[in-house]
A = this chain, B = another copy of it.
Amino acid sequence: MDVTIDNYEELLPEILEKIENCDFCSIDCELSGITQYKDLNSFDTLRTRYEKIKNSVESFLILQFGLCVFKYKPNEKSYESHAYNCYLFPRSQKCKYSKDYSFSCLNSSVEFLIEQNFDFNKVFKKGISFISKDCEENLRHKLHLTIEDRKIPKNTLYPPNKEDIRDQIDKILNEIDEFVENKLETRKEIKFTEFLLRLFIEKNIRQKYSKQLKYESKFLENKERLMIITKVDPKDITNEIDDFEKEIGFSKLIWFLSQSNKLIVGHNMISDIMQMLRQFFTANLPENFEDFKSMTNSLFPRLLDTKYMASQAPLKDLINNTTLADLERILSKEPFPKITIENDLYSTNNEKLHEAGYDAYLTGCCYAKMFHYLETFNSSKLALEEFYSNKLYLMKSYDNLIFDLKKVQEEPKRDNVFYVEFPPKWETQDLYDLFSSYGPIFIGWINERSAFVALQNNDNVKKVASQLLGVCGRDYRVYFYSTYINQLYKSKNEKNKNSNSTPDNKNSDNNLTNSNEKRKRNKEKQNDKSSGSDSSLERKKFKSDKNDEKQNDKPFEQSMDCVYNLFLKDNTNKR
């Protein structure tokens, strides 16, 4: 169901009840922009990857949140499911407690969504408001202080050093008290010439009758001012606690989901989860990667990423494409079990890809099908969840396949990886030429002057070390990966010492970006039409997190091919 400001309040109890009673939920977010595929490097360290995604989610916004709740019916061996396609927008109008909220859009993400008929007008017109938990707590505290403060009876206020108008103020205030008491009167007029008098009458009215009386002032011709006081209809007296609760909006649902302790399934969900943390819990994500993990664990203790699940043995041997739509198609055929999954809104035939509600529904379907397939091997439900959960898939990564939320992860050693510096005119082929004697390589561009090069064959590491390392008089320099990283952290630590900031700050490995700039340039140089369309195809693919190329879990030979495809060829049937 489409959920907007028009029906959210009404639907909320039903949704919360459905979450309460479900077996698992699936989620999906449509964002105003995502971490650009080209900004990722296959050799990012885990921290660097965290920082890159963090920087990105801190400017973008969830525009549409898909939630699908699944309930298993054991007798019928089928699922009942309900999908909610929710529109979000940080409203300021009619929101007493809202703040200005600026958010970024990425052109390619916006174009991608609009191509899928995403309705931005509906988001902006009907999006449900939200608030982050830390902001809510702060405001709630202030609100309670204000309300408590108001209960203390106030003395009448008088202007300082103006004894002569004290009596006048008292007299008028008495009249106003009588007006308030008199249930027959609804309107009172008072005339002043003394400006200070008006000021202090108003001040006292606000202090004593802020919610009961309204007033307005008019200039009269004879320099007098007329104050018209009217009573506020009791049914119009808003309850500010109620107002405040309403402005919490969509966050209520998310907070409930967080506390439900239900299994939450997503597909390639790292960006979604980080965006949710930022939007609904804390405006500033933790600087430190380990802090992020423990925060996620405490807020969402049971997460499961279907892209990770599908790309691990034993399923990976049956699944050659883990993009969401393809995955669902593969799982609908043998050897996966036929499971009926009823839904009130969608069917898997009814292609509404990239509508958040639909993608959440598909994700849940994929999970159910994989789960029931694996269950046939006598795996217990608990063991399966234990094995797959809290591991968030990382795309475009050479060896860091996941964020493992429950474990402290060591960075891989990468003994077979070299860091290479060269003149800016170098292209992929030049790197290939340099390493031609050492077997297949995998290249991770850093910028136009440097790249990581991984050898497929570890036996050749020594050969490279003896033949390319420390070579003088050439226009390139080759280093061990470890040398490069040590140097990087050394200079980072020195910087931190100078700036007194934390060692885990966000400037680390800044240069591990824009790896694809070169790739793009290479393509542009080729200047044929097919490469142009290739590039747009590539871009399109990476617009949605759900559609990244499956690179990591391929055997090395295939990965190599993939690299060659990207770098060297213009068009192949395979893509």
Question: A residues near B, CB below 8 A?
Answer: 33, 36, 38, 59, 89-94, 96-98, 100-108, 110-111, 113-115, 119-121, 124-125, 146, 150, 159-162, 196, 199, 202-203, 206, 210-211, 214-218, 232, 236-238, 240, 429, 432-433, 436-437, 524-530, 532, 535-536, 539-540, 564, 568-573
Contacts and interface: CB of A to CB of B under 8 A. Distances in A.
Nearest to A89: B107
B107 A101 contact: yes
Given A119-B121, A199-B429, A238-B529, 9 more contacts: A59-B104, A89-B107, A96-B524, A100-B106, A199-B564, A203-B568, A211-B529, A214-B528, A215-B571
B103 A90 contact: no
A161 B436 contact: yes
Given A111-B124, A119-B121, A124-B110, A160 B102 contact: no
B93 A111 contact: yes
Nearest to A437: B161
B96 A160 contact: no
A214 B530 contact: yes
A100 B108 CA distance: 7
Contacts of A532: 96, 238
A19 to B, nearest CB: 28
12 contacts: A92-B107, A92-B539, A94-B536, A100-B106, A114-B121, A114-B125, A202-B569, A210-B527, A214-B530, A218-B573, A232-B528, A232-B529
Q: How many copies does the complex hold?
A: 2
B216 A572 contact: yes
B573 A216 contact: yes
A18 to B, nearest CB: 30
B114 A107 contact: no
Contacts of A161: 436-437
Contacts of A160: 433, 436
A11 to B, nearest CB: 23
Contact of A106 (B101, B146, B216): B101
A571 to B, nearest CB: 5
B104 A102 contact: yes
A100 B433 CA distance: 31
Nearest to A61: B105
Given A103-B105, A238-B529, A568 B96 contact: no
A60 to B, nearest CB: 9
A246 to B, nearest CB: 13
Contact of A199 (B38, B240, B432): B432
Nearest to A117: B121
Contact of A33 (B102, B113, B202, B215): B102
Nearest to A103: B105
A515 to B, nearest CB: 14
Contact of A214 (B92, B540, B570): B570
- Which of A124, A125, A573 has the most chain B CB atoms inside 10 A of its CB? A124
A170 B125 CA distance: 65
Contacts of A59: 102, 104
- Which of A36, A217, A237 has the most chain B CB atoms inside 10 A of its CB? A217
Contacts of A536: 93-94
Nearest to A203: B429
A568 B159 CA distance: 15
A108 B94 CA distance: 11
A186 to B, nearest CB: 15
A337 to B, nearest CB: 33
Given A89-B107, A119-B121, A216-B573, A211 B432 contact: no
Contacts of A102: 33, 59, 104-107
A37 to B, nearest CB: 10
A202 B568 contact: yes
B111 A120 contact: no
Contacts of A206: 526, 528, 570
Contacts of A93: 108, 111, 115, 536, 539-540
B100 A570 contact: no
A483 B478 CA distance: 59
A432 B119 CA distance: 50
B106 A210 contact: no
A146 B527 contact: yes
Contacts of A569: 202, 215-217
A111 B92 contact: yes
A211 B119 CA distance: 39
10 nearest A-B pairs in the assembled complex, by CB-CB distance:
A101-B107, A120-B120, A114-B124, A92-B108, A90-B107, A216-B572, A92-B107, A114-B125, A102-B104, A210-B528
Contacts of A238: 529, 532
Nearest to A217: B572
